[in-house]
Structure 1
């Protein structure tokens, strides 16, 4: 059974992403671990020598009460979509969001993370594009990034950006497992720039290996990578775009973490970011 981590601050952005998390759990026959992470303010105990711990305890209690009050609302959302049979457990953690997500991934043996994203700035919630983007570059499991205003819709077409490397093929096979569960087709895109080094024989090899699957390959010659990907999403009616994040030294290559972060946090298509070492 796949385990899906859903960090939430119980905002509208998060609640929208919660529906996507539920549907992913249904597709993968998995369970949800709901995480609420909060940071207590730094209090200088030289100014509050006597009631220092009381301050922290009251702040923690307030977070716990809020957490306790919001959980039934999530269960109501699940009931509305007839997904209330999905197993759901909860974690309340103090500290840095990314650190807590990484800790939960390790301790709860997480397979996927689902987060809401927003291009807004400021502290509306920790579900901002910057935080989601930071998590993308720091975690070791696939992460589904859900734009704040995108309702869930059945997955018919999955986009997959590739550089035709061996690790890309492994990732594609994993995405194919998801596609089979939803009867979706996969449309692969390779943006061939002036610096591209993929030969025709490699492309033919991939096409041969996946010829019996619902997988097609498109090669577009362009140096405008981001714009080409966005056009591809619109023209091919992509429901979810899969992008690989490479982590070898600084961000490198055609489809690197910074580009994945930008598309995942600024545009209106859910992005499944898969880390590649």
Structure 2
């Protein structure tokens, strides 16, 4: 968690994510990379054209810099190392590319809910970041005066290909001193008997040194609804899920469960790429 990237469009939701990132940075000695993407195809600017679109591009670059200066003056960022980055190609893949460029460990991003971040994350772009990122993505919906994680729900089908993401999740739980509540959601269309489900969970976690956990089998009409309902019953501070990216997780995260949770959960969600 030494390098944290926060995409921003300077909205309230993006600042909620930045405030959480600042708390994490202070606790773990991290640097913050604050990314803003302009919707200007500067790479296509023709310097020989008349009139040149360059003045308009420079105007928006300067405007972004002014907003950065205003944001970086916030009290909650004092004492932190914050790098401001402007990219001139508006694509969800730019977030991941920037993470690789700066060797980022964690993405913390705001979300407005089903509609995503205004201006920057229009439509499904926020979901695409979650779906395509090979790094953990922490999605923040609301302002957190104190971001603490005591109760961490980790939902899985507990198949073997999830083990690496579980290891990442336990490290995150250890960093916060959180108890993990491992849950497997049973549905009518994909039902697993309790004894078999418990056996699968125990087989899955037997090689892990992490011991601060509880296990649960939860029945509901869908996996997503089950995770949301279970998290509400546990009063979870954070929901963790694994994602295969575009392929989904066989027999569990069909289609876009991770993206749907990011959209519909009122609680913070962290995703881990298999």
Please, what TM-score do these two structures have when normalized by structure 2?
0.85
Residue in structure 2 matched with residue 76 of structure 1 by the alignment: 73
* 1:69-90 Cα deviation digits (max 9, x unpaired): 122333333x2x3x52221112
Distance 1:130 1:118 in 2: 12
- Structure 1 residues 46-57: aligned runs within 5 Å: 49-51=49-51, 53=52, 55=53, 57=54
Structure 1 CA distance for aligned equivalents of residues 197 and 32 of structure 2: 42
Match of 1:260 among 258, 261, 270: 258
SS at match of 1:220: strand
Matched position secondary structure for 1:175: helix
Secondary structure (helix, strand or coil) at the match of 2:200 reads: helix
Question: Structure 1, residues 67-118: CA drift from partner, whole Å, max 9, x if none?
Answer: 22122333333x2x3x522211121111123131122122111211111111
| 2:56 matched residue in structure 1 | 59
Q: Describe the SS at the equivalent of 2:73.
A: helix
Q: Distance in 2 between matches of 1:120 and 1:201?
A: 36
CA distance in 2, matches of 1:181, 1:155: 9
Q: Distance in 1 between matches of 2:164 and 2:266?
A: 27
Task: After TM superposition, give the deviation of residue 239 of structure 1 in Å.
Answer: 0.9
Structure 1 residues 50 and 123: alpha-carbon distance in aligned structure 2, compared to 1, 3 A threshold: farther
Pairing 1:143–2:137 present: yes
- Deviation of 1:207 (Å): 5.8
Cα RMSD, aligned residues only: 2.9
Cα-to-partner distance string for 1:224-244 (whole Å, 9 max, x where unaligned): 222211111111011111111
Unaligned runs of 5+ in 2: none
The answer for the alignment partner of 2:236 in structure 1 is 238
Cα shift at 1:150: 4.0
* 1:100 equivalenced with 2:94 (yes/no): yes
Please give the alpha-carbon distance, in whole angstroms, between the structure 2 residues aligned to 1:208 and 1:76.
48
Q: Which runs of 5+ in 1 are unaligned?
A: none
Contact 2:6 2:108 survives alignment (8 Å): yes
CA 1:70–1:236 in 2, change beyond 3 Å: closer, same or farther?
Answer: same
Query: Are the counterparts in 2 of residues 28 and 178 from structure 1 also a CA contact under 8 Å?
Result: no
CA offsets per residue over residues 107-161 of structure 1, 9 Å max, x none?
11121111111136499421356221111112211111111x3435322111101
Identify if the C-alpha distance between structure 1 residues 256 and 112 changes in structure 2 by more than 3 Å, giving closer, same or farther: farther
Equivalent residue in structure 2 for 1:195, among 183, 190, 198: 190
Deviates more, 1:127-136 or 1:7-16: 127-136
TM-score (norm. length: structure 1) = 0.84
Asked if the contact 2:36–2:86 (Cα under 8 Å) also holds between the matched residues in 1, the reply is: yes
Distance apart, 1:211 and its partner CA: 8.0
- 1:199 Cα offset (Å): 4.7
CA spacing shift, 1:265–1:216, aligned 2, 3 Å? same
Structure 1's 128 and 211: CA in aligned 2 closer, same or farther, altered over 3 A? same
